[in-house]
Structure formats: structure tokens, C-alpha cells
Structure 1
Amino acid sequence: MLRVPVISPDGKPLMPTKASRARRWLNQGLAVVYPNDLNVFAVQLVNQPSGEQVQDIAVGIDPGKMFSGIAVQSNKATLWTGHLVLPYKKVRKRMDTRRMMRKTRRSRRIDRRVPYSQRSHRQKRFSNRVNKKVPPSIRANRQLEQRVAKELSLLYPVKAIVYEVVKARGDKGFSPVMVGQYWSISQLEKIAPVTQKQGWETALKREALGLVKDKTDKSRQSLNTHAVDGIALAATHFFRRKNYYHNKGKLSVPENCNITNALLFVIRRAPISRRQLHLLQFSCMWKTT
């Protein structure tokens, strides 16, 4: 059963309600449609509700390199699922193009016939390798996840965020998922308390809940590719038992939350170019007569 987010008159998120009840409120003039950036159907009450008690709602985030899975889970239902198409390749390609064109522009105004100390090019003003900065492509990935989590916190009374961390062996700088994950966690903590889970824990919870993950094609925009991991991560917030055991070949897990059907939202960053440099050079089409 689908759940509709409910917002109080002062903008505070309340517990979601049934879709039939939300339609009845709209027909009776008790609520209006609440616009949001995620394009989720939500209603805002016109009058103050009789009570504002809320239950725990958790957001599960499974970060990736090209795609990420996000889900919102309560104790009784799965409220929202999302498949994020990350801008990793596009940002990296634009940074390479910017580097090439900047090098080309600077080479035009340098007279290489004169000594290096007398050339008319701007010297470096500072070293940009002092601070440990997150690469632009990875920062764009994590910022998209943070933006979606922030918008979800405006629709649902989020009490916890469960984030999957990657602990790779050897050189820690090779994995785009691992680089910047703790910076992303520090940004998400501004929304709600963050609990870290590892990949094997996510797989264990997914198996316990009976969810099946599709590993054949990770680019497929379906619930079983990445969103199931978000559901499993969010569901761990409601599990009271930490250790699970097998009983007659079946994984034993306490019934602390219900997994239900929910709409799947596919989200990608808008194709915005803030500088003409990203579009390379303008090509003119000359028409001859």
C-alpha cells in the first residue's frame, strides 16, 4: 500500500498516510498538494493537526561509482525507493576537457623563444596540493546523494541514516566509492545521525529480508539493482538483534519491520553547463547560396 508524505502547515514533516485518505483531504479542502524537488506526491495540511507524534523513519544509502540506491523505510512499510544515476563519467570528462583547453589557451600567449624566467605567463599563486580535497567527479556523486537525502528529510520525519562504507585492501585511493565517503558522512550527519554498515552486513540483511539483487546489469533502472540495498540498510535500524543464525538452513531474523511495495524514482543530475568552456567551441554552419 502506497504512502503519501504529509506536511504540517508550518512545514514540519509528519507521518505518511494512505493515498485514499490524502485524496479525500484534497477533495474536502483539508489539504493542498505540496510541491517538492523530488516530484513526490505529497500533501500539506491546511489546519493544525490534533497531534504531531511521529515514529522512527530511516534512510538507507548504498553509494556507488556509477549508480546509488536509496530507500526510506518505516516500521510498517517501505515509503520510497530511488535509483540514482551518478554524474561521475560526465564530470570527469568535463574536467579533462577543461584541462586540455586551458593548456591550449596558455600555450598561445607564451613566447618560447625567450628564457623561461622572462616569459609573460602568470606564475602559480599558491599550491593547490596542500589540502586534501575531494576530486570533483567523486564530490558530484556524493553531493547528489546528499541533495536527495536532504529533500527526503523535508518530506519524511527522518530519524536515522544508514550508510554503507567500503573498506578496500591495499591503496585506499584507487576506489572512487571509498574516496570521500567519510566526508559525505560528515555532511549527512547535519541531516540526521548516521550509522555505518559494511557490505557484508548489507548482504546479510538483504538475504534475511528475502530480497533478491540483480547483479547481471547494474545500469538497469529497476528495484533489484541498487534500491534493494537501500531497503536492507534502512531496515537494519529496526532490527534489535545483531547476530543472526541459521535454523534448518533458513536465516532466522526477528520481524521488526515490514517490506512493502513502493514507487521507484530514477534521479539524475540536470544537464547544466555553467561555462561555455564545457561546450568546447561554438561551431558555425555557413549556408552558401
Structure 2
Amino acid sequence: MHLDVRSEWLSHVDEVPRALVAANAVANLEALEQSPRHHHQKAQLLFTVRGVINCEVEDAVWIVPPQCAVWIPGGLPHTVFGSGEVECISLFIEPPEALDLPKECCTITVSSFLRHLLMRTNALPELYDIDGPDGRIVSVIFDELAAAPVEDLRLPIPSDPRLKKLTDLLIAAPADHATVAEWASRIALSERSLSRLLAEEVGMSFGRWRRQLHVILALRCLSAGQTVQAVAMDLGYESASSFVTMFRKMVGKPPSRYLLERLRPASHHHGDL
């Protein structure tokens, strides 16, 4: 089973006269197949219940670990694929203009309260009563989305063919900790030219870009059940502690805590927030 992105279905989603459309909201996907690149007029919110979803747009790949969501603005061409067994919620949204929702693709932290609201959308009729209880639930969802923190779980993808080759090399051998000069020579660039191109195309230094890649690869593996020690070794770190230090600097908390908060979301109610 994979997310249905056939053009006739997407056309139907855009024609439904409601601000929120739940498209088979909860889906169990043994392997989320890569969808063809597509777009729709409504924005899309993909919430990962378990597993990891990847959303690729023209200039970046967004990683969506458990209990996190990716926001895809309306009209933005994208493709979606999963890592391992995935369970997700897919919503198509045309929010009120007054609501301050992201204008660009981003990952969103989902609170326990918002998670329960998103799960509730599976029971929404397609043409729910806008002025009834269902309509009020949709309004609260929009308010919670507007207030949700944004996380930068993104790997910028450069357009320069030499940098694209470098991206492929880094993904194929993440444990290779060659120097910047050595990586530059492998794609026929000087170290200075590589640094300049990366700054121009992705706005990051080589070191930060590679660490961002390591965070994304680590989240995929950790969410699939691999240990911190195993992931650290696979990524070429001398020890688990050095990997944890890198992860904390990039994400703001160690990987075990980061995933624990997502795999075991807090059970408190909205009134306790």
C-alpha cells in the first residue's frame, strides 16, 4: 500500500469545499513507496505516527521522525517516501487567510494535544458541518498548527552537478571523514571553490552540511530500532559520546531523549500544558 497521489484523487481533494480534508487519514504502510513528483492546491500535513517519512522538494529533503509532521505548502512540487514500516496521517488543508501558517516546507513539532486532534480527523466526514463540533475541532487544529514549533530537519540539496555528486558520495559513505580538501579533490574542485559553492547554494559550511546529513541518517536508523552505539559507529564517530555531542549541538537534545519524547508522547491533556 502507498499514498494515493493519482491526479484524479488530488483533483478531488482540491475540489472538496472544506478547509480540511482527511485522505484516509491513518494509513499503515509496510513500505511507503516513493510517489511521483506532484503538487496540489491545498497544503498537505503529513504526521508520522511511527517510522520515518521523507519529503523531497526541489532543493531539500525533509526527514519526519515519529510524532513529527511535515508541512507542504499548496502548489509546491514534492515526492514522499518512507523508511521501513510507516504509519502516518495525511491531511489536505486550505486554512483561513488570517491564520499565520508556514509559507515554506518545514517540519513541525506535534504536541500531545495536537496529536490527539490529528488522530480525531480520521472520523471526520468529508463534508463535515463547518458550524458544528467537527468544524470547531478543525478550527482548534489550525490554531495549534499556527502555534507549533518548527524544527530544521532538512538536508539542503545543491543544484550544482559537482555538489550533487558530493551529496551522493557522502550518503554512500557517511563514515568517511576525509578532510574538506580531500572531498573537494574528489569532485575536481579546490577547497576554496567547494566552500564558496556550498555557501552560495545551501547556506552552510561543509562541516555543518555533513553534520546535518548525519542527523538525518541517524534519525532514520534510530527510529528503526538501531542503538546509539551502532549508529555512531556506522557514521564513523570514535565513540557514542562524540556522536551524542554532535547530535545535541545540532538538534538541542541527545538522541535518546529526542526519540523518547516522540515514541512515548506525553499523555497530559491540553489543560495541563
TM range (shorter): under 0.3
- What TM-score does the superposition give when structure 1 sets the normalisation length? 0.21
Q: Which of these two proteins has the greater Rg computed from alpha carbons?
A: 1
Larger helix fraction of residues: 2
Higher relative contact order (CA 8 A, sep 6+): 1
- What TM-score does the superposition give when structure 2 sets the normalisation length? 0.22
